[in-house]
Amino acid sequence: MSENFSPRPQSSPASHPDAAVPSLPIKGRYRVLKALSHDGRTVLALDEDTPSQSFCVVRSRDRRRGELPLPYPVLMRWEQLADHPHLPSLLAAFDDESSQYLVDEYIHGKTAEEYLQLQGAWTEAQIRQLLNQILPTLRDLHDRQLLHRDIKPQNLIQRDGQWILVDLSALHCTATPSGPDAEALSGSAEYAAPEQIDGHPGPSSDLYSLGATCIHLLTGQSPFDLYDDRQGTWHWRDRSRVSITPQLTRVLTRLLHPDLNQRYQSADAALADLNRFDLPINWDALLVLRPLSGLLAASFALTLLQFWGQQAPQLRLNGESASPSLNSAPNPSRDKTLPRKGSSGPRVETLSQGTHAIWSLAVSRDGSIVSGRGDGSIEIRPSNGSAPIEFQAHPEAVFSVAISPDGTILATTGNDKAIKIWDMQRGNLLATWHGHYDNVHHLEFSPNGEILASASRDGSVKLWDVIDRFNSPLRDRNSTPRHSLNAHNGEVHSLAFSPNQRFLITAGADGKVHLWDWKTGQYLRGLVSSSSEIWSVAVSPDGETLATGSKDGTVQLLSLRSGRRLRENSLHRNAVVSLAFSPFPVSSTLGSEYLLASGDVHGDIILMPTESGSLNPITSHQGWVSFDFSPDGQFLISGAYDKALKAWTMNHLIH
């Protein structure tokens, strides 16, 4: 049957007034809510045949306009990617006499273009995050002989902190022959590679489009305006609004090379260059890193926002005084830089040697450092270099601190059993929640920042609505959690959210690790059953690997999907109380792999590459240690009972 499209405007501000929208449900099932494209051939719809009446996107490909339907092999390959964390699932495909209809998962969030309009030019950290999530996605498409062919800022949507590559309606299977005319019409011209415009796209054409997207986000200008046709050269570096490192410049330059033979031939090659240190990593030096003498100046917090690329400041080291010298950047408020790779200096610096033990620590996405201390106080070291903020949060030790993904909210807990919510910028108390009848061990925000999870000695895990509480002018002081999860026999030590799924992982004194759907509170399955108490858990940034730390000193790596054990080490001699994955993979002889940091109650830290598994201890602290990676992955920030706050420079772990 042919759908009846009537040209009437939609009332929603997000719809397109000149779009044609169907007056009847498509196929008698998909009720259109609004048009998502100007021509009305991409619409947001409600699937009325599902019990949940879920949202979906319906796209029509009109043969009368010369749009060829996606062939069966392409649809089959797309369907096989249904569980991919960075691609929408194909829900249905059907035809009538004039069109093919594709129904895919609706991704709710802002596009990369919308973030550019709202926040201005992107930073290097944002570009790296995008590349580190989308390059593996392109690898997965290309491994299945699929080309996206329409990568642009409008087709990248961020959901729960993860970038999703949407609109797969231009998918092409390289194993399926097709006419060159159809190829030439696919994609957006300003982001399309020269060979794609000529009708001969390949895997590196998608890489070119991703590179063109990145330079648009860095400059705010169309790729058409950044390319000189007469000279055949790009001029985006001169127009970038932020400073970027030579390493990222090299990666983008090669992604955008007009000569197909000079461009990256695979997404893996680009990913390896993106995360490669200037020199190959010496895993044997991952290492016995002994803390060296010397204090890093208080202005170190200034360096936590971005990457290397400027001359490192000369600091007071080994008792000798030197004048600070930090090269200026175009935007002083955003472009603070880390010390340049290869610069001289110690592998570790002490940021502070306080008067109280550090019980908990977290680093925000902008590089601000929060530490919870033994006297119940909190110290916030802002990334913009302003003076530290200190305030009393709890009567005694602060057991856990957590920072919301947007960096605006701080959650703390201590031995008073209370959970307190603070304004991260000012240190003002926003709310106090009571719901546990014993101490709370661990706090963690969901990837979208809407939920706070708390793990307690009382054996329960509670999920709290963060956003709704702040809509109440009374700051409800006796809150009721959204869900209370009870599956452990004994205290719950730790928890972690999977960054790209709806999973919550909890671990406890019963040696069990459980998997939950945090949006519904539903128990899914058990992952681990150990004879030793599980004291810590963490999930890799790609959502694939789960790490557990036990009371007996064992660290395990498991597949989060299957629960299969991948690797184990028993180098710790004491309970493993802290785990953290590096935010980005690094390059090794085995390809790209994450670093896992594990710390125990005696202050020892071990760094382990997740694939190669080689490891060595760091003698860094004395007593219980807590740590977190800086947002760019180049520093590990640690604090412990010995009252020291330290920064370990990851780029020194090289030949």
Query: Could you tell me if 114 and 101 lie in one domain?
Result: no
For residues 210 and 275, the model is more confident at 210
Residue 490's Cα: distance from chain center in Å? 32
Has this prediction a pTM greater than 0.75? no
What sign results for the dihedral spanned by CA atoms 583, 587, 593, 595? negative
Q: Which long-range contacts (CB under 8 A, 24 or more apart) does 177-181 make?
A: 178/68
Lowest mean pLDDT of 241-255, 315-329, 390-404, 591-605, name the range.
Answer: 315-329
Query: Could you tell me if 267 and 297 lie in one domain?
Result: no
* Residue that terminates a domain, selected from 75, 105, 135: 105
pLDDT tens per residue across span 365-398: 888 999 999 999 999 998 877 889 999 999 999 9
pLDDT tens per residue across span 75-107: 999 998 988 989 999 999 999 888 899 999 999
Question: CATH no. for residue 599?
Answer: 2.130.10.10
pLDDT class for 320, splitting at 50, 70, 90? very low
Which tokens hold the place of 325?
């010298």
Catalytic annotation, pick one of 47, 95, 140, 150: 150
Query: Could you tell me if 245 and 287 lie in one domain?
Result: no
Lowest mean pLDDT of 300-309, 450-459, 599-608, name the range.
Answer: 300-309
* Residue that terminates a domain, selected from 105, 131, 161: 105
Which tokens hold the place of 122?
């992107």
Q: Is 43 within 8 Å of 34 (Cβ atoms)?
A: yes
Residue type, 134: I
Q: Distance between CA atoms of 295 and 618, rounded to whole angstroms?
A: 19
Q: What angle do CA 637, 432, 381 make, to 5 degrees?
A: 25
pLDDT tens per residue across span 233-266: 899 988 887 778 888 999 999 999 999 999 999 9
Which tokens hold the place of 166?
């949407």
Query: Could you tell me if 411 and 489 lie in one domain?
Result: yes
* Amino acid 613: pLDDT: 63
Query: Could you tell me if 307 and 249 lie in one domain?
Result: no
* Amino acid 147: pLDDT: 94
Quick check: is 150 catalytic? yes
Which tokens hold the place of 189?
């011209």
Query: Could you tell me if 78 and 30 lie in one domain?
Result: yes
Query: Could you tell me if 230 and 307 lie in one domain?
Result: no
Write the Ramachandran bin of 574: left for phi over 0, alpha for psi from -120 to 50, otherwise beta. beta
Which tokens hold the place of 196?
């794609």
Mean pLDDT of 553-577: 89
Listed in sequence order, the residues at least 6 apart from 33 whose beta carbon sits closer than 8 Å to its beta carbon are 12, 43, 44, 45, 46, 55
Query: Could you tell me if 124 and 225 lie in one domain?
Result: yes
Which tokens hold the place of 312?
């490192």
Mean pLDDT of 611-615: 67
Which tokens hold the place of 84?
């991919």
CA distances from 422 to 116, 301, 379, 395, 470 (A): 28, 21, 12, 16, 11
Q: Which residue has the tokens 């109280």?
A: 356
Diameter over CA atoms, the chain? 83
Q: What is the DSSP letter of 397?
A: -
Residue type, 636: L
Query: Could you tell me if 58 and 161 lie in one domain?
Result: no
Total domains in the chain come to 3
Q: Distance between CA atoms of 385 and 604, rounded to whole angstroms?
A: 30
Question: CATH no. for residue 196?
Answer: 1.10.510.10
pLDDT class for 22, splitting at 50, 70, 90? low
Q: Distance between CA atoms of 523 and 544, rounded to whole angstroms?
A: 19
CA distances from 380 to 394, 395, 634, 638 (A): 15, 18, 20, 14
* Residue that terminates a domain, selected from 239, 274, 309: 274
Query: Could you tell me if 98 and 244 lie in one domain?
Result: no
Residue type, 360: S
* Amino acid 623: pLDDT: 84
Structural domain of residue 215, as residue ranges?
110-274
Which tokens hold the place of 528?
């681990």
Question: CATH no. for residue 86?
Answer: 3.30.200.20
In the predicted structure, residue 405 carries a pLDDT above the cut 50: yes
Which tokens hold the place of 511?
């040696």
Q: Is 305 within 8 Å of 332 (Cβ atoms)?
A: no
* Amino acid 176: pLDDT: 64
Q: Distance between CA atoms of 639 and 647, rounded to whole angstroms?
A: 9
Q: Distance between CA atoms of 431 and 448, rounded to whole angstroms?
A: 20
The whole-chain average pLDDT of the chain stands at 80
Query: Could you tell me if 115 and 65 lie in one domain?
Result: no
Q: How many CA atoms lie within 13 A of 418 on its CB side?
A: 16
Q: Distance between CA atoms of 450 and 63, rounded to whole angstroms?
A: 43
Query: Could you tell me if 322 and 451 lie in one domain?
Result: yes
Mean pLDDT of 67-75: 87
Q: How many CA atoms lie within 13 A of 405 on its CB side?
A: 17
